[in-house]
Amino acid sequence: MKIDTAKSATFSEKAKYKVPFGTVSVTKEARELISQALDSNWLTRGKFVQEFEEQFAALFGVKYAVAVSSGTDADALACAVLYDYGARRGDEIIVPALTFVATGNAVLQAGFTPVFIDIQRETLNINPEKIEAAVTSRTRAIMPVHLMGKPADMDAILRIAGKHKLHVIEDAAEAHGAEYKGKRIGAIGDMAAFSLYAAHIVTTIEGGIVITNNPEMAEALRSLRNHGIVGKFEFRRVGFSAKMHELEAAVGLGNIKIFDRILEKRRRNLLYLIDKFKRFEKHFVTIKEEPHEKIGPHAFSIIVREKAGFTKDEFVAHLDNAGIDSRNLFYSIPTQCPSYAFLGKKPGDFPEAEYCSSNGTHIGIHQDIELKELDYVAQVTEEFLRSRGIKL
């Protein structure tokens, strides 16, 4: 099995791309708030962090938000809350096989065992038909990942969770602004964990946040992010050191101000590219938006179909040569990440996740990309197919 190795790019290498994968928006207001924070000499867990939490919760229509130091910590702390509800170390949390490795890492870091489930190729999300068979007496939660900002099948997941008395923790790292049947992603499960990394719609450069409507869960999260402390100096839980600082919160506050603008631009780009790629659908599986949902766009996924007559690597090389930046479509964590070899899984155990990883890529649709650049992506894709002797 061949594993792609990520290459670190210098600034000059990144600058070569006509269509870069990511961007970051640091507003004038954020810069002013950063200066205020520096002048205040109060840089940890001050008024900006509290204000950011309040505004983020309001943005997603929930009562509580707890800011932390990364999206991985957001997942891990949300999992660790389960100890307040009778979970024990080594208990199980169900997660999709195809996702960024941080999802599985967070489950392990919180002291739980990840139980991986295969995904659906057309949605990239956990296959709800395979979840129930994986539930055991040790299962404590289901953690669906809304990959690429496309909502998972939350009705089916909630139905299974209710039947087996399981918690639902949404990994909404890439799903800022996504909606499922009129409800905003992040406000459906017991808790939702967001990444605030630079590539996302709301960013603090690095950072994460967990939202919930449950006051006890919010209290536990606040304790867990600061070594499990309660009050002035009582340690009730085995906690983390995962606090957000004031400078990060300042950037986040600036981003919330332009959230609607960024979301609207990304959705315009997503829907435009979905339409452009309709003529290529015999050759690629691409992300689609169904009538019951709104994707909170993170990136545009492209999976080479079986018997396409070319490989993902050939297509990606053509994109790169044309100045279009791309990323691999993650890996099947239990079978394509060497760090998870201890689970004893073998290639073929998660065929859909493995196929998407081996044959999939994704490109940027962020707010700094214009329609002419998306036209260029479509043009380059057409040129590639014609170069392979494919008539359109």
Q: Report pLDDT digits (tens) over 93-125.
A: 999 999 999 999 999 999 999 999 999 999 999
Helix/strand/coil percentages in the chain, nearest 5: 40, 20, 40
pLDDT range class, residue 15, cuts 50, 70, 90: low
| Ramachandran quadrant class, 346 (left: phi over 0; alpha: psi -120 to 50; beta: rest) | beta
CATH number of 28-257: 3.40.640.10
Query: What was the pLDDT predicted at 373?
Result: 97
> Taking the domains of the chain in order of start, what are their residue ranges?
28-257, 259-387
Report yes or no: 262 and 268 within 8 Å, Cβ to Cβ: no
Map tokens 């008024």 to a residue.
47
CATH 3.40.1640.10 fits 259-387, yes or no: no
Adjacent-strand bridge partners of 301:
362
Q: Compute the distance between CA of residue 254 and CA of residue 247 in angstroms, rounded to an integer.
A: 11
Q: Report pLDDT digits (tens) over 251-297.
A: 999 999 999 999 999 999 999 999 999 999 999 999 999 999 999 99
pTM, entire model: 0.93
Name the percent of the chain lying above pLDDT 90.
Answer: 86
Q: Report pLDDT digits (tens) over 154-197.
A: 999 999 999 999 999 999 999 999 999 999 999 999 999 999 99
Query: What was the pLDDT predicted at 16?
Result: 73
Report yes or no: 66 and 53 within 8 Å, Cβ to Cβ: yes
Query: What was the pLDDT predicted at 37?
Result: 78
Q: Report pLDDT digits (tens) over 276-286.
A: 999 999 999 99
Mean pLDDT score of the chain, rounded to an integer? 93
What distances in angstroms separate CA 274 from CA 54, 127, 177, 293, one per listed residue?
A: 35, 23, 18, 15
